[in-house]
Amino acid sequence: MGEATLDMDRLEEYYVLEASVPTMTAVVPLEIDVVDDLAEGDGGGGQDKLASLGSSGMRVRPEAEPWDAWLPITESRKGSTAKAVLHLVCSGIGFQGLSLPVALATLGWAGGITVLTLAFAWQLYTIWILVHLHESPPPATTRYSRYLQVMIHAFGPKLGKLLGIFPVMYLSGGSCVILIITGGGAMRTLFDIFCAEGDTCQSRSLSGAEWFLVFTCIAMAIAQFPNLNSIAGVSLVGAVTGVTYCTILSVLAVRNSRRSGVSYEPLLATAGKSVWTRSGDALYAVGTVALSFRGHNLILEIQGTLPTSPSSKETSEAPMWRAVMISYSIISLCLYPLAIAGFWAYGDKIPSGGMLSAISDTNLQHTSKFFLALVNGLVILNTLTVFPIYAMPVFDNLEIRYTAITGRRRAPAAARTCLRLFFGGLAFFISVAFPFLPSLGPLIGGLASPLTFAYPCLMWVRIRKPRRGGARRLITGLGCLGLILCVLWVAAALWRLIDKGLNADFFKP
CB 253 within 8 A of CB 345: yes
Region 365-393: mean pLDDT is: 92
- C-alpha dist (Å) from residue 433 to 27, 314, 505: 49, 49, 8
Q: Is residue 24 part of a domain?
A: no
89 pLDDT above the threshold of 80: yes
Q: Which residue has the higher pLDDT, 317 or 202?
A: 317
Q: Is residue 194 part of a domain?
A: yes
Give the per-residue pLDDT at 364: 63
Closest C-alpha to 16, from 151, 129, 157 = 157
Q: Angle at which helices 232-255 and 369-406 pack, to 10 degrees?
A: 150
1 pLDDT above the threshold of 80: no
60 beta partners: 26
Give the per-residue pLDDT at 499: 83
Q: What is the pLDDT of residues 417-433, one digit of tens each?
A: 999 999 999 999 999 99
Give the per-residue pLDDT at 197: 56
Q: Is residue 207 part of a domain?
A: yes
CA–CA separation, 307 vs 290, rounded Å? 32
Q: What is the pLDDT of residues 324-358, one digit of tens each?
A: 999 999 999 999 999 999 999 998 889 888 898 88
Give the per-residue pLDDT at 94: 84
Q: Is residue 3 part of a domain?
A: no
Q: Is residue 193 part of a domain?
A: yes
Region 181-186: mean pLDDT is: 95
Give the per-residue pLDDT at 271: 65
CB 489 within 8 A of CB 287: yes
Give the per-residue pLDDT at 363: 64
Q: Angle at which helices 147-155 and 100-133 pack, to 10 degrees?
A: 70
CA–CA separation, 148 vs 323, rounded Å? 22
CA dihedral 308, 313, 316, 319 (to 10 degrees): -120
Q: Is residue 113 part of a domain?
A: yes
Q: Which residue has the higher pLDDT, 468 or 492?
A: 492
Q: Which residue has the higher pLDDT, 29 or 108?
A: 108
Q: What is the DSSP string of 137-159?
A: PTT---B--SHHHHHHHHH-HHH
Q: What is the number of domains present in the chain?
A: 1
416 pLDDT above the threshold of 90: yes
Q: Is residue 45 part of a domain?
A: no
Question: Residue 313's pLDDT band (boundaries 50, 70, 90)?
Answer: low
Q: Which residue has the higher pLDDT, 323 or 24?
A: 323
Region 461-468: mean pLDDT is: 87
483 pLDDT above the threshold of 60: yes
Give the per-residue pLDDT at 362: 63
Low-confidence winner among 251-255, 291-295, 328-332, 365-369 (lowest mean pLDDT): 365-369
Give the per-residue pLDDT at 361: 76
Task: Assign 3-class secondary structure to 399-452.
Answer: HHHHHHHHCCCCCCHHHHHHHHHHHHHHHHHHHHHCCCHHHHHHHHHHHHCHHH
- C-alpha dist (Å) from residue 159 to 148, 255, 298, 315: 11, 52, 21, 29
CA–CA separation, 168 vs 331, rounded Å? 22
411 pLDDT above the threshold of 70: yes
61 pLDDT above the threshold of 60: no
CA–CA separation, 44 vs 61, rounded Å? 19
59 pLDDT above the threshold of 50: no
Q: What percent of the chain shows pLDDT beyond 70? A: 83
84 pLDDT above the threshold of 90: yes
Give the per-residue pLDDT at 459: 96
Question: Residue 194's pLDDT band (boundaries 50, 70, 90)?
Answer: confident
Q: Which residue has the higher pLDDT, 258 or 299?
A: 299
Q: What is the pLDDT of residues 34-52, one digit of tens each?
A: 333 333 334 344 333 333 3
Peptide bond into 62 cis (omega under 30): no
CB 243 within 8 A of CB 89: yes
Low-confidence winner among 96-110, 112-126, 156-170, 401-415 (lowest mean pLDDT): 401-415
73 pLDDT above the threshold of 90: yes
Low-confidence winner among 324-333, 348-357, 379-388, 452-461 (lowest mean pLDDT): 348-357
13 pLDDT above the threshold of 60: no
Give the per-residue pLDDT at 30: 29
For residue 445, the enclosing domain spans: 65-500
Q: What is the mean pLDDT of the chain?
A: 83
Q: Is residue 46 part of a domain?
A: no
Give the per-residue pLDDT at 273: 77
Q: Which residue has the higher pLDDT, 26 or 103?
A: 103
Phi, psi of 230 (to 5 degrees): -80, -10
Q: What is the DSSP string of 85-103?
A: HHHHHHHH--GGGGGHHHH
Low-confidence winner among 168-172, 266-270, 353-357 (lowest mean pLDDT): 266-270
Tell the burial category of 168 from Cβ atoms under 10 Å away from its Cβ (0-12, 13-18, 19+).
buried
- C-alpha dist (Å) from residue 66 to 23, 51, 86: 20, 19, 28
CATH assignment of the domain containing 338: 1.20.1740.10
